[in-house]
Structure 1
């Protein structure tokens, strides 16, 4: 499953990247993030692997981020792996009239009948979650509003 999301953040690209590229800021816009731990490499650099733990409903979910391309301020690509799901995320950042357009290309690959069935029955849920993160980042970056307060 592939889709693209776009959002414009009312910040110059340099400021946008500064907020996005700070791992300590993730908790303010990645709803449900309980914590992260570097598994290998240098935090935020190409090749680095990081375990991320999220609260989901009554349970928890863990995923591993692997940074593929770090070419700020233009692009950042990573993969995210959790049980039954491999997500390839390609992010592009364009400066437009003093604001930043964030274009995110998502590709999900599913293993097992259960995950494939969920993807087939609820493809919109994945795009909705991606847009939720983008909107939460926008609210944090522009207004300083953290999801920790909601």
Structure 2
């Protein structure tokens, strides 16, 4: 399954990137985020790997994030490998008028087992989750609004 989402963030691109790259900010815009642990490679650089943990409903989810391409401030390609789900996310950051940034997120999901059925029956749930993270990042970056307060 492939899809693309985009959002305008009313901040300069450099500020958007700085807030997005800081893993200490994840808890403020990724609901369910529990922890981040660097595993290998140079942090923030290509081939760096990290373990992320989330609580989604009653499920605990662990995934390995790999930085595939880091051409910031324009492009960042990440992959996420979790049980039965592989996601590649190509992120593009474009400068737009009024010191704003357009964030485009191209996503590709490859699912196995039960998750393959979920992806087939409810592809909108994947798209909705991606866009929710994007909206929550926008609220955090622009206004300091945290999902921890929901």
The residue number in structure 2 matching 1:122 is: 122
The residue number in structure 2 matching 1:86 is: 86
Shift, 1:59, TM fit: 2.5
The residue number in structure 1 matching 2:30 is: 30
Shift, 1:43, TM fit: 2.1
Q: Does 1:108 align with 2:105?
A: no
- Report how many aligned residue pairs link the two structures: 149
The residue number in structure 1 matching 2:39 is: 39
1:22-66 Cα distance to aligned partner (Å, 9 max, x none): 111111111100001111112222111111000111231111100
Measured on the aligned residues, the alpha-carbon RMSD in Å equals 0.8
After TM superposition, the runs of 4+ consecutive aligned structure 1 residues lying more than 2 A away are none
The residue number in structure 1 matching 2:96 is: 96
Deviates more, 1:96-105 or 1:34-43: 34-43
Distance (whole Å) between structure 2 residues aligned to residue 44 and residue 133 of structure 1: 20
1:74-122 Cα distance to aligned partner (Å, 9 max, x none): 010010010111101000000001100000000001122x121111100
3-state secondary structure, aligned to 1:64: strand
Q: Any gaps of 5 or more consecutive residues in structure 2?
A: none
The residue number in structure 2 matching 1:7 is: 7
TM-score, scaled to structure 2:
0.96
Distance (whole Å) between structure 2 residues aligned to residue 92 and residue 145 of structure 1: 23
Shift, 1:149, TM fit: 1.4
Shift, 1:69, TM fit: 0.7
Distance (whole Å) between structure 2 residues aligned to residue 132 and residue 116 of structure 1: 22
3-state secondary structure, aligned to 2:136: helix
TM-score, scaled to structure 1:
0.96
Distance (whole Å) between structure 2 residues aligned to residue 28 and residue 22 of structure 1: 11
Q: Any gaps of 5 or more consecutive residues in structure 1?
A: none
3-state secondary structure, aligned to 2:79: strand
The residue number in structure 2 matching 1:52 is: 52
